[in-house]
Amino acid sequence: MTAAAFAAVFGAAHRQIRLVESSEIGIVGVGEATLPHIRFFNRRIGIDERELMAHTQATFKLGIEFVDWARIGDSYIHPFGTYGSRIAGIPFHHYWLRQQAAGDSTDIGEYSLPIAASRANRFALPAEDPTDVMSTFGYAFQFDASLYARYLRGFAEARGVQRTDGKIVDVKLRAEDGWVQSLTLDSGEMITGDLFIDCSGFRGLLIEQALKTGYDEWTHWLPCDRAMAVPCENSGRLTPYTRATAREAGWQWRIPLQHRMGNGYVYSSNFISDDEAAAKLLSRLDGKALADPRPLRFTAGRRRKTWNRNVVAIGLSGGFLEPLESTSIYLIQIAITTLIDYLTEQSVATGNYDPRVVQAYNRWIEMEYDRVRDFLILHYHATERADAPIWDYCRTMRIPDSLAHKMELFRTRAHVITYKDGLFLEPSWLAVYFGQRIMPRQYDPRADAPNPEQAREQLARMRERIESALVRMPAHEDFLRQYCPAEPGSGRAGVRT
Ligand SMILES: Cc1cc2nc3c(=O)[nH]c(=O)nc-3n(C[C@H](O)[C@H](O)[C@H](O)COP(=O)(O)OP(=O)(O)OC[C@H]3O[C@@H](n4cnc5c(N)ncnc54)[C@H](O)[C@@H]3O)c2cc1C
């Protein structure tokens, strides 16, 4: 992603961009679910969406379904879109709360088109016209991460990136200031450079092993530290959403692609053994397993500085927040585009990086991680489950003050703290608050302005607009078949019906 974006934006004809990776070491390759931001990244660097989807066996994603999180038997969808519309400038959910207080039991999901489309397995592209209910959602992709890496490699090489398959065996630092001077490959080749982007994964080859930057660990808030991943055969319909089901020691993902289903069990090693996690995962697949479960280990947290001297850590080398909300690829892409914005042509050429720019970049990335962290912790903490030690721990753990403040404001007056930058806007917080049974004590009293009959009618009209848009949306599989049938050769071709 970094090499592709740098080549597209800075032009490899003017700057020499070298990409070193080792096919012997390989990639993690399990990032299968994405967020709508990926479309802005694609557009910015000139990736064609249909071509990308066809090459990566992709399906559309309208949100994430959370099953069994607050109580066993619960299910809610975090949609990529809004709930209802504002009335007299007041957010919709205050009117919904008013109706609930008056005895109406309509689920808030009935006011969200992406939720309705997910439940009905339908998909169509959103509209641009803001008055059209079809403009109230966004979408992302579910794709094969290894095919994505392969596609981007071709994209980068076509734009002049010089790729070397080799293992870095030594990193030389400049004696005078400790900046990275060169990398030595197992072939003996030495590579010098002005700026080194460390995309070496969890090992943090430059940022940690060479520069000893340090890592802030968050396992006490996000206790899962391992995963088992296994693909299985598709069975049933291709859902335009990812599913995350809470389990006895963590949670299980289910991500439908055109050619197979991605599955994984993310768990805490304090509460289940690897063997048991693998057995539980295999016993809960929708179709026949296509491989043995693959174990992965990680530590939630982030690097103390993601830009240190002339090294910028992007990806798993910069930090890791577990995949519950599919945020890693987003964090990578926002790190790339922010870095590009902060790097002037001049500083790329001279290698003189203004320390104020470096500090501002690091602060930005910290903010991005902190926002995601709080949102993830909310899923674990806001549970009523008392059937397993992990849920007892999460329910009673001390949470960050920043999250405690957000939750308190919501509980007291249904207020959602919004911010200009960073992930997760009001509808995302509402989805998880309501989905995990956090009900505010009070709503905005201005929502009492319309008389009860008017309020009922206004809300009924919103539901009708969603229903009439929904019937015009094609089935997800049918839309995929005409929009981006999988390329022959990228796994098993064709859309399952
Ligand atoms: C269980 C799990 C589930 C995930 N699910 C999602 C998801 O649904 N959505 C999402 O957005 N993200 C997800 N992620 C995160 C996603 O997988 C990663 O963010 C993504 O794969 C990027 O990884 P990376 O490039 O930083 O590291 P890696 O994939 O580990 O790549 C590291 C690269 O560095 C190279 N390298 C390392 N050492 C050397 C060396 N000595 N010499 C030469 N080359 C070297 C390797 O060859 C490789 O190319 C998930 C992660 C995990 C662990």
Q: Looking at ligand 1, which atom is closest to the CA of residue 317?
A: 26
Confidence of residue 491 (pLDDT cuts 50, 70, 90): low
Write the pLDDT tens digit of every residue in 303-348.
Answer: 999 999 999 999 999 999 999 999 999 999 999 999 999 987 666 6
The whole-number pLDDT of residue 424 equals 93
User: Measured between alpha carbons, how far apart are the two ends of the chain, in Å?
Assistant: 32
Choice among 137-141, 192-196, 197-201, 490-494 with the minimum mean pLDDT? 490-494
From 24, 25, 321, give the residue whose CB has the most ligand 1 atoms within 8 Å, as the site to mutate.
25
Confidence of residue 494 (pLDDT cuts 50, 70, 90): very low
The whole-number pLDDT of residue 301 equals 98
How far is the C-alpha of 496 from the C-alpha of 238, rounded, in Å?
Answer: 8
Q: What Rg, from alpha-carbon coordinates, does the chain have? A: 23
pLDDT over 80 at 89, yes or no: yes
**Ligand 1: which residue has its CA nearest to atom 47?**
22
The whole-number pLDDT of residue 30 equals 86
How far is the C-alpha of 78 from the C-alpha of 91, rounded, in Å?
Answer: 18
Output the CA 86–ligand 1 centroid distance in Å.
41
Write the pLDDT tens digit of every residue in 210-227.
Answer: 999 999 999 999 999 999
**Ligand 1: which residue has its CA nearest to atom 44?**
21
The whole-number pLDDT of residue 353 equals 83
Residues with a catalytic annotation lie at 61
The whole-number pLDDT of residue 13 equals 66
- What percentage of residues in the chain have a pLDDT greater than 70? 96
pLDDT over 80 at 115, yes or no: yes
Ligand 1 pocket (Cβ < 6 Å) reads 20-22, 25-28, 30-34, 145, 167-168, 199-201, 203, 205, 227, 229, 264, 296, 298, 315-317, 323, 326, 328-329, 332
pLDDT over 50 at 493, yes or no: no
Asked if 109 and 64 count as a contact pair (C-beta separation under 8 A), the reply is no
- Residue 198 β-bridge partners: 313
Output the CA 150–ligand 1 centroid distance in Å.
13
From 28, 34, 41, give the residue whose CB has the most ligand 1 atoms within 8 Å, as the site to mutate.
28
The whole-number pLDDT of residue 489 equals 64
How far is the C-alpha of 172 from the C-alpha of 343, rounded, in Å?
Answer: 24
| Pair of tokens at residue 454 | 């008017």
From 27, 64, 183, 257, give the residue whose CB has the most ligand 1 atoms within 8 Å, as the site to mutate.
27
The whole-number pLDDT of residue 495 equals 36
Write the pLDDT tens digit of every residue in 18-33.
Answer: 999 999 999 988 879 9
Output the CA 359–ligand 1 centroid distance in Å.
25
**Ligand 1: which residue has its CA nearest to atom 5?**
31
The whole-number pLDDT of residue 492 equals 42
Confidence of residue 485 (pLDDT cuts 50, 70, 90): confident
The whole-number pLDDT of residue 497 equals 27
pLDDT over 60 at 382, yes or no: yes
The whole-number pLDDT of residue 496 equals 32
**Ligand 1: which residue has its CA nearest to atom 30?**
201
